[in-house]
C-alpha cells in the first residue's frame, strides 16, 4: 500500500529494448511537493524512468503508482501530468495566450477562469505582457518559460521536466534554473527533473537520484550525494576529483597505512572507505581528493592538515571566480587544485607546499 507522503511509487520496474536492459529492477518513491532530479550519463535510464511515469512507455515488469493508484497501462492523458520537453514543443501558429489556453479549453473550463489561470501562470514565469506574441517572436529562454507556464496552468499532480535547459546558453541556464526552483516552491507541485548536468542537480533539487547502467546508485540530498557518496561512480560523477593509486601496507586499529611509493605514505581511517567495500592488506586502492579540498602555499602548512607534500606547478588556468592549478607530486602524480585566491608569486615551474586533511580523502579498490 502506498504511503500517503508519496506522490509516486515505482516498485521493481524493469525495461529492456531487445537484449539491452535499460532499467534493472528499480525502486523509487517521490515525496509530495519535492523537486526530485534523475541524474546520470547518457543511457543510464533516467529519461526512460521519466517516460514511464509520463505514460509514454510501459515497463516490462514492476508497478507504477501515482497518488496510490496503479498506473500501468493507463494512458498519459489520464495521469494529470504537466510535461516540459527539451525542445519547447510550443504550437508555432498560436500566441502565448493560446498556447496556455489549449489544455484548459480541452478540459472545458470557463473562459473567465481560463484568463485568470493564464494570468497567474504568466506571473509565475514573469512573462506578463507577452500574451499576444508568437513563439518565433520570443527568445529561447522566453519560449522555455512559456512551456513551463503551459505545463503549470492546468495545475497538474506532477510536473515532469525532461532536460528543459539543455538548449540554452550557460548564463541563461543558471538564471532559469533558479526561476524553476522558485516557481516549484511557490506552486508546491511535485516535480521530477531529468538532467545530466551535476550543477543543475545540486543547485535545484530536494533529492537527487544518481543512475548508472539502468540501476540507482544512490538517492539523497545534494549534500549527502556530494559529501557522502555511496559508490565510487557517484564520487567520480558528481564534482571533480583527483585519484592516486597505492597499496595497503598494514592495518592497525582500523587505520590503513597506504604506500604510494617509497617516499610517500598516507594513513587513512576506516571511515574513508566509499560504500561497503572490504579492503585488506596488500590490496591496491584508489585514493580520491577533491580539488577544492587541497590547499597550496602557506595555507598548506597548517598543522590541521595531516597530509602535506612538496609539489611543482605545471599549469595554471584562470576560471574567473577561481584558479585551477595543476601540480606534479613525486614527479609523476598530477593533481588539480581549485584556488579562489591566487598568491601572485605563484608561477609555472615554482615548487610549492600542498596539503589537505585526511578527513577529506576517500578510498576504494
- The predicted-structure confidence for 261-302, as pLDDT tens digits, reads as follows 867 889 999 999 998 899 999 999 999 999 999 998 876 666
Residue 228 sits in the same domain as residue 306: no
Give per-residue pLDDT as tens, 26-53.
Answer: 999 999 999 999 999 999 999 999 999 9
- 248 confidence band (pLDDT: 50, 70, 90): very high
Residue 21 sits in the same domain as residue 140: yes
In angstroms, the CA 360 to CA 10 distance is: 35
Average pLDDT, the chain: 90
Residue 53 sits in the same domain as residue 173: yes
Residue 229 sits in the same domain as residue 253: no
- Asked if residues 87 and 166 have their Cβ atoms less than 8 Å apart, the reply is no
Assigned domain for 304 exists: yes
Residue 49 sits in the same domain as residue 161: yes
What is the value of pTM for the model shown? 0.88
Residue 150 sits in the same domain as residue 251: no
In angstroms, the CA 305 to CA 266 distance is: 12
DSSP assignment of 122-164? HHHTT-TT-TT--GGGS-HHHHHHHHHHHHHHT--SEEEEEST
- Number of domains observed in the structure of the chain: 2
Assigned domain for 1 exists: no
Residue 195 sits in the same domain as residue 322: no
State which of 193, 212, 237 marks the end of a domain.
237
Identify the CA nearest to 35 among candidates 233, 135, 179, 250. Answer: 179
In angstroms, the CA 125 to CA 149 distance is: 6
Residue 194 sits in the same domain as residue 174: yes
Residue 231 sits in the same domain as residue 246: no
Assigned domain for 39 exists: yes
- Asked if residues 257 and 265 have their Cβ atoms less than 8 Å apart, the reply is yes
Residue 280 sits in the same domain as residue 210: no
Report CA-CA distances (Å) from 149 to 15, 127, 140, 162, 288: 32, 9, 14, 15, 43
Residue 130 sits in the same domain as residue 198: yes
Assigned domain for 322 exists: yes
State which of 237, 255, 277 marks the end of a domain.
237
In this model, does residue 142 exceed pLDDT 50? yes
In this model, does residue 338 exceed pLDDT 80? yes
Assigned domain for 108 exists: yes
Residue 179 sits in the same domain as residue 312: no
Assigned domain for 336 exists: yes
Residue with C-alpha cell 597506504? 258
- Print the domain residue range for 353: 242-364
CATH for 300: 2.40.50.100
State which of 175, 209, 237 marks the end of a domain.
237
Instruction: Quote the cell numbers at residue 139.
Output: 527568445
How many helices (DSSP H) and strands (DSSP E) are in the chain? 8, 20
In angstroms, the CA 240 to CA 289 distance is: 9
Amino acid at each position: 500500500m502506498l504511503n500517503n507522503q508519496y506522490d509516486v511509487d515505482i516498485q521493481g520496474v524493469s525495461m529492456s529494448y531487445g537484449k539491452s536492459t535499460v532499467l534493472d529492477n528499480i525502486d523509487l518513491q517521490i515525496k509530495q511537493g519535492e523537486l526530485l532530479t534523475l541524474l546520470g550519463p547518457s543511457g543510464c535510464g533516467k529519461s526512460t524512468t521519466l517516460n514511464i511515469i509520463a505514460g509514454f512507455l510501459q515497463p516490462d515488469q514492476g508497478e507504477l503508482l501515482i497518488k496510490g493508484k496503479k498506473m500501468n497501462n493507463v494512458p498519459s492523458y489520464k495521469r494529470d501530468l504537466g510535461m516540459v520537453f527539451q525542445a519547447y514543443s510550443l504550437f508555432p501558429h498560436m500566441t502565448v495566450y493560446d498556447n496556455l489556453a489549449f489544455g484548459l479549453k480541452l478540459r472545458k473550463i470557463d473562459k473567465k477562469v481560463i484568463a485568470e489561470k493564464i494570468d497567474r501562470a504568466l506571473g509565475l514565469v514573469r512573462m506578463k505582457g507577452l500574451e499576444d506574441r508568437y513563439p518565433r517572436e520570443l527568445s529561447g529562454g522566453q519560449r522555455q518559460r512559456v512551456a513551463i507556464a503551459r505545463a503549470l496552468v492546468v495545475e497538474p499532480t506532477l510536473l515532469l521536466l525532461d532536460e528543459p535547459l539543455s538548449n540554452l546558453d550557460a548564463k541563461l541556464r543558471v538564471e532559469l534554473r533558479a526561476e524553476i526552483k522558485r516557481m516549484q516552491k511557490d506552486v508546491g507541485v511535485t516535480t521530477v527533473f531529468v538532467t545530466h548536468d551535476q550543477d543543475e542537480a545540486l543547485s535545484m533539487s530536494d533529492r537527487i537520484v544518481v543512475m548508472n547502467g539502468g540501476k540507482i546508485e544512490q538517492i539523497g540530498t545534494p549534500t549527502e550525494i556530494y559529501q557522502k557518496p555511496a559508490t565510487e561512480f557517484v564520487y567520480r560523477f558528481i564534482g571533480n576529483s583527483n585519484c592516486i593509486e597505492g597499496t595497503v601496507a598494514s592495518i592497525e586499529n582500523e587505520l590503513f597505512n597506504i604506500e604510494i611509493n617509497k617516499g610517500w605514505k598516507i594513513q587513512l581511517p576506516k571511515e574513508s572507505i566509499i560504500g561497503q567495500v572490504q579492503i585488506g592488506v596488500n590490496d591496491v586502492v584508489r585514493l580520491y581528493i577533491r580539488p577544492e579540498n587541497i590547499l597550496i602555499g602557506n595555507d598548506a602548512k597548517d598543522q590541521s592538515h595531516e597530509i602535506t607534500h612538496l609539489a611543482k606547478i605545471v599549469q595554471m588556468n584562470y576560471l574567473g571566480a577561481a584558479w585551477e592549478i595543476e601540480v606534479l607530486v613525486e614527479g609523476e602524480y598530477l593533481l588539480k587544485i581549485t584556488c579562489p585566491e591566487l598568491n601572485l608569486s605563484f608561477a609555472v615551474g615554482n615548487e610549492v607546499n600542498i596539503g589537505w586533511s585526511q578527513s577529506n580523502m576517500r578510498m576504494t579498490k
